[in-house]
Amino acid sequence: MNTRQRLEAMRARQPAPAGMAMRAAPAASTLPSWPQRVSFCPPGMQERGGECVSSACAPQAHPLIDVARNAELADYERTVRARFDAIVPALKEIAAQQHEAGFEQRAQQIARERLGFELPETVLADAWVTTLDMRKLYGHSVLQTYHTLAREYSARWNGHAEADAMQRFFVECGFHEVDISPCADGRLKGLLQFVLRLPLQAVRRKSYAGAMFDVELNVKHWTETELRRFREGVPTLSDAGTRYLKVAVYHFSSSDPHHEGCAAHGSDDRQAAQAALDRLAAFRTAIENGFCCGASVATLLIGVDTDNDAIKIHVPDANGEMDTACFVDNLAVYRQTAGMAASEARWRLGAAIDEAVRETGRSAPETGMRSLIERLLTNNLSQIDYVCANHGGRYADVGHAERFINLGDSFDVLHLRNLAYFGHLHTIEEGAADVDVGIKIFSKLNVTHGLPVPIAIHFRYDEQVPGSRERAVARCRRIKAAIETRYPALCKEGLLFCGMTVQGKAPGSAQEEVSDIDTNSHGH
CB half-sphere exposure, 465, CA atoms < 13 A:
11
What is the C-alpha separation between 160 and 182, in angstroms, rounded?
Answer: 23
Residues 144, 147, 151, 154: is their CA dihedral positive or negative?
positive
Q: Which lies closer to a copy of itself via its Cβ, residue 335 or residue 471?
A: 471
Residue 227 or 342 having the CB closest to a copy of itself: 227
CB of 237 to a copy of itself, least distance (A): 12
Complex with a copy of itself: residue 130 or 464, whichever CB lies closer: 464
Q: Which residues form the interface with a copy of itself (CB under 8 A)? A: 215-216, 219-220, 223-224, 226-227, 230-232, 238, 281-282, 285-286, 289-293, 295, 426-430, 462, 464-468, 471, 478, 482
Find out whether 76 and 356 touch, Cβ atoms under 8 Å.
no
Query: Can you tell me the distance from the alpha carbon of 245 to that of 233, in angstroms, rounded to the nearest whole number?
Result: 18
3 state SS of 24: coil
Nearer to a copy of itself by Cβ, of 289 and 520: the residue is 289
Q: Which positions ≥6 away from 23 have C-beta within 8 Å? A: 49, 51, 53, 388, 389, 390, 392
Shortest spacing between CB 514 and a copy of itself, in angstroms: 17
Helix, coil or strand: residue 233? coil
Alpha helices, H only, 393-515 = 428-445, 468-486, 488-492
CA atoms within 13 A on the CB side of 136: 15
Catalytic annotation present for 518: no
Q: How many CA atoms lie within 13 A of 163 on its CB side?
A: 17
Residue 196, classed as helix, strand or coil, is coil
In terms of DSSP bridges, do strands 298-305 and 311-314 run parallel, antiparallel, or are they unpaired?
antiparallel
Residues 203 and 392: their CA atoms lie apart, in Å, by 30
Half-sphere exposure of 203 (CA within 13 A, CB side): 24
Q: Using DSSP bridges, classify how beta strands 175-182 and 243-252 pair: parallel, antiparallel or unpaired.
A: parallel
**Is the bond preceding 235 in cis, omega lying within 30 degrees of 0?**
yes
Q: Are 356 and 9 in contact (CB under 8 A)?
A: no
Between residues 288 and 359, which has the closer beta carbon with respect to a copy of itself? Answer: 288
Residues 6 or more apart in contact with residue 108 via CB below 8 angstroms: 118, 119, 124
Nearest distance, CB of residue 481 and a copy of itself, angstroms? 9
Q: How far apart are alpha carbons 168 and 172 in whole angstroms?
A: 6
Q: Which of 85, 133, 179, 185 is catalytic?
A: 185
Backbone φ and ψ for 511, nearest 5 degrees, come out as -80, 130
Least distance to a copy of itself from the beta carbon of 228, Å?
8
Nearer to a copy of itself, 21 or 282 (CB): 282
- CA atoms within 13 A of residue 197's CA, in its CB half-sphere: 25
Residue 477 or 524: the one with the smaller Cβ distance to a copy of itself is 477
CB of 478 to a copy of itself, least distance (A): 6
- To a copy of itself, the closest distance from the beta carbon of 430 in angstroms equals 6
Q: In terms of CB distance, is 23 or 228 closer to a copy of itself?
A: 228
Rounded CA gap, 327 and 325, in Å? Answer: 6
Task: Pick the closer one to a copy of itself by CB: 61 or 465.
Answer: 465
Residue 176 C-beta: closest distance to a copy of itself, Å: 15
CB 479 → a copy of itself: shortest distance, Å?
8
Q: Determine contact, residues 343/358, Cβ cutoff 8 Å.
A: no
Q: Which of 68, 223, 142 is nearest to 406 (CA)?
A: 142
CB of 284 vs a copy of itself, minimal distance in Å: 9
Q: Is the dihedral of CA 121, 124, 129, 135 positive or negative?
A: positive
Active-site residues, by number, are 185
